[in-house]
Amino acid sequence: MNKINLKGYTLTQMEEFLKQLGEPAYRAKQIFKWIYKGQTQFENMTDLPKKLIKKLENSAYISMVNIYKKYESDIDETVKYIFLLEDRNMVESVKMKYSFGITACISSQVGCPMGCVFCASTEGGIVRNLSWGEMTDEVLAIENDSNEKVSRVVVMGSGEPLLNYEELIQFLKVMNSPLAFNISLRRLTVSTCGIVPGIIRLSEEGMPITLAVSLHAPNDDIRNSLMPINKQYPILQLLDACKYYIIKTKRRITFEYVLISNINDTEQCAQELSNLLEDLLCHVNLIPLNPVEGKNLNRSDPVRVRRFEKILLDEGISTTVRREMGGDIKAACGQLRRSLLMG
């Protein structure tokens, strides 16, 4: 008999499974809690009777990703992990340390289909979606390895989370569940390149997480040249979806804006951007471009970054410059890529 993987079972599915084993439903809750504490061995689940442990060992297992490689930054305490999945694909995740705790930046797909010209994750295209169990494993593996609790999760690694919608929602539910990670919704962030139907669906989910939208340009001409998705969902459509999200969730949206020298970092761009975002409940996060090999794009110099920031601030738009973390280990935004097994 093939053993089933209990990671990736919702609580309801787990209850159903226990019923089939002739066990009471409350056992499901106990097992569920153990799994998301990082336990992979039934014999270590100390509140289960021996007989049940035997039954579980015969019929089920709990998967866990393996750390294939780990890079630790010398400039900050950022750690980049390359995880090996059960099917031998690999994904990257990043652990960042802030004064308020640990943030895990996790991937939602192996590879990425979006084709943004400044990003390493999309080279080689998309391989497959991650399951919610695999996304959860990224967080668990970071906690297990570092012996620290993750207090914030950002789905900002490789992949476009809103193209993996059902798994994303289930993942967020487990992150938020008091039986599992118990992370509040506002400490969960999803970053999207602007999949309009996904944003609308998320608005109606009754799950007011923090939404980050990769805008990167103040008009369609520039955005078309940087992000192919803009041809499908141009800026005004995207902003309409964002307004809907704000109305439904009452949450402020974060707009990410990568600053690329002489492409989207001029005074005129800043002015245009502030006109575009006027009256919107939002925050702008400026990200000086992180270098990606083989791309002929340069990061804006610090003077231009400050000038851009000042124009937005003067127009009354809440703006910050994102602190780069893990640049020396290629763990910064846009630097995560798909690794391949050698041999």
Catalytic residues: 92, 333
Closest to ligand SAH by CB, 141 or 332: 332
Write the CB contacts of 306 (distance below 8 Å, at least 6 apart in sequence).
none
**Residue 126 binding ligand SAH, by CB under 6 A:** no
- DSSP secondary structure, 110-150, as one string: EE-SS--TT-STTTT-EEEEPPHHHHHHHHHHHHHHHT--E
* Count of residues interacting with ligand SAH (CB under 6 A): 18
Closest to ligand SAH by CB, 45 or 114: 114
Pick from 7, 132, 136: which is nearest to 61 by CA?
7
CB of 255 to ligand SAH, least distance (A): 9
The sign one gets for the Cα dihedral 297, 303, 306, 307 is negative
**Residue 238 binding ligand SAH, by CB under 6 A:** no
Q: x-or-dash pattern for ligand SAH, window 190-229, by CB under 6 A?
A: -xxx--------------------x---------------
**Residue 333 binding ligand SAH, by CB under 6 A:** yes
Find how far residue 196's CA is from the centre of its chain.
18
Pick from 292, 302, 297: which is nearest to 332 by CA?
292
**Residue 167 binding ligand SAH, by CB under 6 A:** no
Instruction: Choose the binding region for ligand SAH from 71-79, 88-96, 261-269, 289-297 (rule: CB under 6 A).
Output: 289-297
Amino acid of residue 238 = L
What's the rounded Cα separation, in Å, for the pair 97 and 300? 26
CB of 116 to ligand SAH, least distance (A): 6
**Residue 111 binding ligand SAH, by CB under 6 A:** no
Closest to ligand SAH by CB, 56 or 287: 287
